Amino acid sequence: MLIIDCPYCGPRPELEFAHGGQAHVVRPADPAAASDDDWLQYLYLRDNTRGVFAERWRHARGCGRFFNALRDTTTDQFLATYRAGEQPPAVPRDRP
């Protein structure tokens, strides 16, 4: 079982977590002025990165909080977790 490091509770088993899709998707600041393309981008289009990917996760069966995680989509390894609203930490390129 994967151990995911909740920024609020510490290391916990993956069963307690729910995946929340791509992180850092920003809603148009002025919704009325956003074009159809902006909405398309915001609502539907998501990256499908091979490698390090920033995702939202929720500690659904624990503290209930959303947070962000950097996960390598090829190895399923969690490289870092950080609180919502924070910038993703730098990941060393020569990581194992």
User: Is residue 10 at the binding interface for other proteins, with CB under 8 A as the rule?
Assistant: yes
User: Is residue 84 at the binding interface for other proteins, with CB under 8 A as the rule?
Assistant: no
The piece of 4-12, 18-26, 33-41, 45-53 that touches other proteins (CB under 8 A) is 4-12
Of these, 19, 27, 46, 61, which contacts other proteins (CB under 8 A)? 61
With 0-12 / 13-18 / 19 or more C-beta atoms within 10 angstroms meaning exposed / middle / buried, residue 52 is middle
User: Is residue 15 at the binding interface for other proteins, with CB under 8 A as the rule?
Assistant: yes
Place of tokens 């959303």: 66
Report angle CA 70, 90, 82 to the nearest 5 degrees. Answer: 45
